[in-house]
Amino acid sequence: MLFNSLDFAFFLPIVLFAYWFVTHKNLRLQNLLIVVASYVFYGWWDWRFLSLILFSTLVDYSVGVLLSKQESKTRRKLLLWTSIAVNLGFLGFFKYYNFFLDNFVSAFSFFGAEINANSLNIILPVGISFYTFQTLSYTIDVYKGRLEPTRDLIAFSAFVSFFPQLVAGPIERATNLLPQFYSQRHFNKNHAWDGLRQILWGLFKKVVIADNCAQYANEIFNNSGEQNGSTLALGAVLFAFQIYGDFSGYSDIAIGTARLFGFNLKQNFAFPYFSRDIAEFWRRWHISLSTWFRDYVYIPLGGSRGSTWMKVRNTFIIFIVSGFWHGANWTFIIWGALNAVYFLPVLLTNNNRKHLDNIASGKFLPSLKEVVFMLITFILTVIAWIFFRAENIHHAWEYFTTIFSGSLLSPVENPPGGLLLILAFFVFVEWFHRDKKHGLQKSNSELSVYRLMDRILVFITFWMIVIWHSSNEVEFIYFQF
């Protein structure tokens, strides 16, 4: 079920009504309703893959309970690796089986040995990369003693399958989300209104920004051999806005929807295109995944401690693994490695935590120096997005080399003037809300002029969605990951 579909527009009010007016007096019934609603939400796409979520839930619930009863280090490690093997085993089979098989065959062919092996027609279950990491965080945190294992199977099932963030995040930690299923939720009008505002802003990002950018970006990327350098550069910029609007839009809708049910999810995007270096960008982009890899991969490897070689090694591991998490294609691995190359200078000069505040904090406009750093970071990010979007490495390389040919100075072919104006409006709104959680968060000021501006902005956003939305229900990009 898509957030931007009529199905969801009917589904959400029905579930909310039952949640707040039918089951509100019984916490266990509320959690059970969430489980049922989540399974309906996911099963709307393909009910057969509900068995994967159920099996993963039962495995990690059982491992958590057994860990609480086990003191032997050897047996505790065996339980932990059972959870890791089951979860990553499913993920590896559905997402990477054909990738490894094809590369295995190609490697032997390179040395003159022919191997006959047929790829499988495997359907990638939507959201498997997200809920796999979410359940793994529970098992690892229980093993490390950071979290008490739950014996409430319904609450744990609700945590694993919570439909607002089930298929594309944020990837919630058990330490944050699971305890919220233990306590009674009470309807809060202010939280609900803020949730609705965030949902509206997420829909704007998706159906106005992402879907309209996608029309032009797809046309340019799919016909890149016929375009000049300036048009390809525009296509790359439009894809940067497409993927940001699409993915952060999903997160906004997920977080806003969760607020309607009385839950607080972690912020997943913090206006990343206003970053002044690549380290700041990765603190602001897909925060839930970046921090997951930091805590469960990077730090256990030694993090930034140790020799320069260890820092370089760990940086490349974390970014390449992140790239591979996104998909079974060498383009994602190159994308990850390229971001590692970007990251190394700020890491090795100990400037990776230089920009922890918001750009131009407390000011109306940034300084010239901040503008330059922000533009450099954005350009580097756009270049990396070319590899992320390209069909293969050859396509990415041809796209990249054409941009930096003499035709870069040629006029853009058929520039989308109306869309560029909408993007300017989008950047303007995000800039003046960069110290908030989302673009429509209500101002804290009691001045009537600010309250009026808030209402006008909501009104404009709503009508832009009505006017500029695509006639087709377009899937979110990260459903394929």
Mark whether 394 is an active-site residue.
no
| Cβ neighbours around 330 below 10 Å, total | 16
* Helices assigned H by DSSP within 18-72: 27-46, 50-69
Mark residue 286 as left, alpha or beta (left: phi above 0; alpha: psi -120 to 50; beta: remaining). left
**Nearest in space to 385 (alpha carbons), one of 456, 469, 326:** 326
d(CA 217, CA 219): 5
Rounded alpha-carbon distances, angstroms, from residue 410 to 95, 252, 322, 402 = 41, 38, 36, 12
245 and 217 in contact (C-beta within 8 Å)?
A: no
Name the amino acid, one letter, at 208: V
Of 326, 395, 438, 469, which one is the catalytic site residue? 326
Distance CA 374, CA 311 (A): 25
What's the CA gap between 397 and 352, in Å, rounded?
A: 29
Indicate the DSSP class of residue 267.
Answer: P
Q: Report the C-alpha gap between 232 and 375 in whole angstroms.
A: 18
Judge whether 336 and 323 are in contact, CB under 8 Å: yes
- Could you list the active site residues? 326
